[in-house]
Amino acid sequence: SNSKSCQNALFGMGNPLLDISAVVDKDFLDKYGLKPNDQILAEEKHKALFDEIVKKSKVEYHAGGSTQNSVKIAQWMIQEPHKVATFFGCIGTDHFGEILKQKAAEAHVDAHYYEQSQEPTGTCAACITGDNRSLVANLAAANCYNKEKHLDVDRNWSLVEKARVYYIAGFFLTVSPESILKVAKHASDNNKIFGLNLSAPFISQFFKEPLMKVMPYVDIIFGNETEAATFAKEQGFETEDIAEIARRVQCLPKVNKNRQRIVVFTQGREDTVATVVKMFPVLDIDQNDIVDTNGAGDAFVGGFLSELVQEKPLEECIRAGHYAANVIIRRVGCTFPEKPDFH
């Protein structure tokens, strides 16, 4: 069934982070001014949080970073051949960087990191309370990605050219919007598929300009209900209806007229909304089976991309997304069993 997947057919670029996850209490969240369910970038006041979280009793380390998670899941769903997924991002020349390299290799992802020694490898503290998780990303090295020194280099750019499907989380807009635009324009000019994720409310709020610069090249936009609502508010849509927001996003200006934009908004346990606007029910799960919702969104995208790269219809892409998310929320971190059971 995987005859359509060839090596480097799926390209992802983003912030490679080492996730440090631990169960914390409300006092911990309050101490650092965190909401129970949020994604933010670390500020000066969060520096001590990283020292404190590693001392928690049950701390776990997992390779993370939103885009990297998604391409890993896509590769896991596809299984064979290896290295269907390519990943670019920046790490430090340190122990955490070595872990990320090792984990990417174990996942059979063709990772080509830009390595520099000014900044240490980025980390993301996942502060878990019950069903909620508050993510605090200390980008560090991830923020040092350099277009001229990595993306533009012939041997790297040739891997971009090999791909048919591209996916970048909105988080990377804070790092290298010029790299995103170069990849997005390449996809558009060659009638390939470029996917982008809204990623977090702060992207739509504070990185509006780079987000809207890339939007005309976006063939598939992903997001959850909160991100969709924030985007709508920032764009002055004056509606909170998710299906209506999806329609409006679909109609935003688009360069490549050969592909109609697809909008996919997940809503946790509620139906996923996708244009041409349809509702797709998610798989039922007993609340007691939910171990960790961190990574569910990344997993949904990974499952989706695994079918998309094999040129499957939208319904199949969404079904695979729901399957992958359903597997991941039963486990700690964005981790998965040896083989998928998706038919």
pLDDT in tens, 97-125: 999 999 999 999 999 999 999 999 999 99
* pLDDT of 153: 98
How far is 50 from 240, CA to CA, in rounded Å? 36
pLDDT grade for 4, boundaries at 50, 70 and 90: low
Domain 10-17+64-121+139-329 class? alpha beta
How far is 112 from 159, CA to CA, in rounded Å? 10
* pLDDT of 72: 96
Q: Is residue 104 within 8 Å of 63, Cβ to Cβ?
A: yes
Q: Which of 277-281, 287-291, 304-308 has the highest mean pLDDT?
A: 304-308
Q: Is the dihedral of CA 20, 211, 273, 340 positive or negative?
A: negative
Cα angle value 185/168/2 (rounded, 5°): 95
What pLDDT digit, counting tens, does each position of 130-175 carry? 888 899 999 999 999 999 999 999 999 999 999 999 999 999 999 9
Residue 184's SS3 state is: helix
pLDDT grade for 283, boundaries at 50, 70 and 90: confident
Mean pLDDT of 293-316: 90
pLDDT grade for 1, boundaries at 50, 70 and 90: very low
Would residue 298 show up in a list of annotated catalytic residues for this protein? yes
Residue 8 has pLDDT above 60, yes or no: yes
> Model pTM?
0.90
pLDDT grade for 290, boundaries at 50, 70 and 90: low
Instruction: Find out whether the peptide bond into 273 is cis, omega within 30 degrees of 0.
Output: no
How far is 312 from 333, CA to CA, in rounded Å? 28
* pLDDT of 291: 60
How far is 222 from 332, CA to CA, in rounded Å? 23
Distances (CA, A) of 121 to 18, 124, 139, 143, 332: 8, 10, 8, 10, 22
- Find where tokens 């609340």 sit: 287
Length of the chain: 343
* pLDDT of 3: 47
What pLDDT digit, counting tens, does each position of 218-269 carry? 999 999 999 999 999 999 999 999 999 999 999 999 999 999 999 999 998 8
Query: Which is the catalytic residue, given 19, 110, 219, 298?
Result: 298
Mean pLDDT for all residues in the chain: 92
Half-sphere exposure of 339 (CA within 13 A, CB side): 4
* pLDDT of 132: 87
What pLDDT digit, counting tens, does each position of 118-138 carry? 999 999 999 999 888 899 999
Instruction: Find out whether the peptide bond into 16 is cis, omega within 30 degrees of 0.
Output: no
How far is 140 from 158, CA to CA, in rounded Å? 27
Residue 2 has pLDDT above 60, yes or no: no
* pLDDT of 331: 73
Higher pLDDT, 167 or 332: 167
DSSP-derived secondary structure letter, 235: T
CA dihedral 135, 184, 196, 50 (to 10 degrees): 0
